[in-house]
A and B are shown apart, each in its own frame.
Chain A
Amino acid sequence: MYLALVFCPLVGFMLAICFGRLLSPKGAALITCAFMFLSFICSLIAFFEVGLSRCPTYIKLSPWIDSELLDSSWGFLFDSVTVCMCLLVTCISCLVHVYSTGYMSHDPHQPRFMSYLSLFTFFMLMLVTADNFLQLFFGWEGVGLCSYLLINFWFTRLQANKSAIKAMVVNRVGDFGLALGIFSIFAVFRTIEYSTVFSLVPYFTGFNLSFFNLNFNLIACISIFLFIGAVGKSAQIGLHTWLPDAMEGPTPVSALIHAATMVTAGVFLIIRCSPIFEYSLDALFVVVCVGAMTAFFAATVGVFQNDLKKIIAYSTCSQLGYMVFACGLSNYSVSMFHVLNHAYFKALLFLSAGSVIHALSDEQDMRRMGGLIQVLPFTYIMIVIGSLALMGFPFLTGFYSKDVILEIAYSKYNFLGTFAHWLGVVSASITAFYSFKLLYMTFISSPNGFKSSFQSAHDAPFPMAFPLFLLSLGSIFLGYISRDLFIGLGTPFWNNSIFILPEHINTIDAEFIPLYIKWLPFFASIAGAVISVMLYHLFSCALFNLYSNNTFFNNVYTFFNKKWFFDRLQNEFLASFLLKLGYGVTYKIIDKGLIELFGPLGVSKNTYNVSKQVSLLQSGLINQYAFLMFVFLVIFLVINVFSPILVSFIDLQVYFVLLLSLLINNLYLTKK
């Protein structure tokens, strides 16, 4: 059954991609949905067995790489963290599959779309159920690939192509970090199995990793490498640029991959590697800083975006920041709780946004909407629920995890905790601000769109509305229901799958912080929401005048609207430099230069030339031979006699350089 959980989506993918034409779009959709539902049922049972009954399952399927030095197998580890993620992935994926049957019903490539969704789910399940780092990496790259394929689904659009390539390339930077982390884990622990590595970490705490005569703390190094991987996948600040651009893909993709599941893979990695991160304060410091800054940065950018999906994308980025800094503050279970909750309300938001876009025949710009509450009342309700859950309105799902994250940040009582707490509170307020701006501008303000798009607007059909309804139930109740299970004091749910150093635990301190600090996030979000509605309802003209007449405010607006100029920074400083480096140095000098010179072409050419020159020495003149014999005799005699004196001047490296220069010189000469 556990294997069926993982492999059902793969079967669905195979059937849909191979026999999509035979099955007809409807048939392919039905098959992939059915297999996804099967997988979902399996993960429900797995959640009951592993999570609630506390029986971790370990399946060793077959050896993969078996070479004495590196043993890696296809193994599946189902512990509490894994089953949580499995349940989340299969649930959201199932709903998105159903939603896609409605959303993509007019697309001629629907079977391909459904099969990619299934393939993505398979890779994601592979990622979360892996029992070693290599298999995790397999799933990690697989979801990256599916992300690329799905962003690029409408492959005739140039923007989609560009975004897909950008997602691939930016993720590659993070993957490089993850690969380095796995390499260094293998170099030190001589294995990549979770169980062995995690149990050996305490032994290696004092060790150093030497690199070019520089010493780094081993555990810190490994953690930071793994964290770079998480930064790439979870769109933390610096490598976040691909996430908003990924919104070029179809909306169900954004909901499944770029909101609920794939982007949380980085957070999952940190939670999974908690035994490594816990032993390095430096790494935790970096994690908290990056997470908190991402939360704040993404929130500020979100306010000034006009694209419906981009706002939600930035809010995802911001929420990922919350999850990451909760990890850095050693509250992995809270972070996991937020991952789960966030998935429901963010998927709800995205899918409802998709419903709006679908209704307005692919209009995404918020400035050309407005007044949709008359046309799309159901979608309006769904977005309201999603937004309230997102801003942490009391007793909705987001409230339970978000407030706990802020409380534990405050109760760290150090610089880092306070830093994260204040950035978190400010971002919470900004989150409420842009959520209500989105609501107001899309649904409540006077209609600004084209008449034609309003005329054909219709509320979501059943296959789209049903997942929305289920997700809204999740967004309302799940936090309340599962709070005690996941983050209640002394909950036995996690069952050793998460490791926290005893001195880092501060869940009890979080209960004793001042009351006004506990209330602060609530009031901040309410204030944000109220200010937003006030501004856009009463003072929108004044706001517009402020933007257009005042250069200062115009500059501020441009700064945030252009995403703090991160893209420009990366393009002009990093990308062009790296492109030049890549073309000039690594391609021209190393690949076509040095490797060709000393590699296949150079060696064959040189052998030919040198042998030609050597054969010229044989002139057939006896006196020349005699002369050479004499000369070399004298040379060897001299070396023999004077070797005790000369030996101190002989340096093999110099000879090597001489030899090299001779070779190069020789090539140069023969070229002319």
Chain B
Amino acid sequence: MLIDQSKFLFVAITLFSIGLCGIMLNRKNIIIMLMSIELMLLSINYSFILFSVFLDDVIGQLFALFVLTVAAAESAIGLAILVIYYRVRGTVSIDYINLMKG
């Protein structure tokens, strides 16, 4: 299979950068932050699968499955925390989540 792997990697890196920018530039919505983390995890998954195909190694795909599981659990926990947080503080805006300031 003579497909240039850098093109596939470009997709993965772009996805990762979009997720990163989502975290760093977003100042309002914490849901978007969670989504960005999901996006980054997705890009990682993508590159895992990519390399597993290129290197002809099944471990990569296996690892991608694990990451998917962990990501699902993580987003579930994150959403649960948000719900609780909303119940306590009445808001989920990032601007007001600064109780741990030094």
Contact = CB atoms under 8 A, between A and B. Distances in A.
A213 interface: no
A618 to B, nearest CB: 3
B97 A619 contact: no
Contact of B102 (A617, A623, A626): A617
B42 interface: no
Nearest to A614: B102
Interface in B56-102: 94, 97-102
Interface residues of A, number: 12
**Interface of B, helix, strand, loop or mixed by DSSP:** loop
B55 interface: no
Interface residues of B, number: 14
Contacts of B14: none
A63 interface: no
B20 interface: yes
A616 B98 contact: no
B1 interface: no
Interface stretch (B3-11, B21-29, B43-51): B21-29
A549 interface: no
B94 A623 contact: yes
Nearest to A615: B102
A623 B26 contact: yes
B33 interface: yes
Interface in A616-645: 616-623, 626-627, 630
A537 B31 CA distance: 121
B34 to A, nearest CB: 11
B101 A620 contact: yes
Interface string A585-625: 00000000000000000000000000000011111111100
Interface in A465-493: none
A151 B47 CA distance: 94
Nearest to A628: B24
A618 B97 contact: no
B101 A618 contact: yes
Contact of A620 (B23, B24, B33, B100): B100
Given A620-B97, A626-B23, A626-B24, 5 more contacts: A620-B101, A623-B27, A623-B94, A630-B20, A630-B24
28 contacts: A615-B102, A616-B102, A617-B102, A618-B100, A618-B101, A618-B102, A619-B101, A619-B102, A620-B97, A620-B98, A620-B99, A620-B100, A620-B101, A621-B27, A621-B94, A622-B94, A622-B97, A623-B23, A623-B24, A623-B25, A623-B27, A623-B33, A623-B94, A626-B23, A626-B24, A627-B24, A630-B20, A630-B24
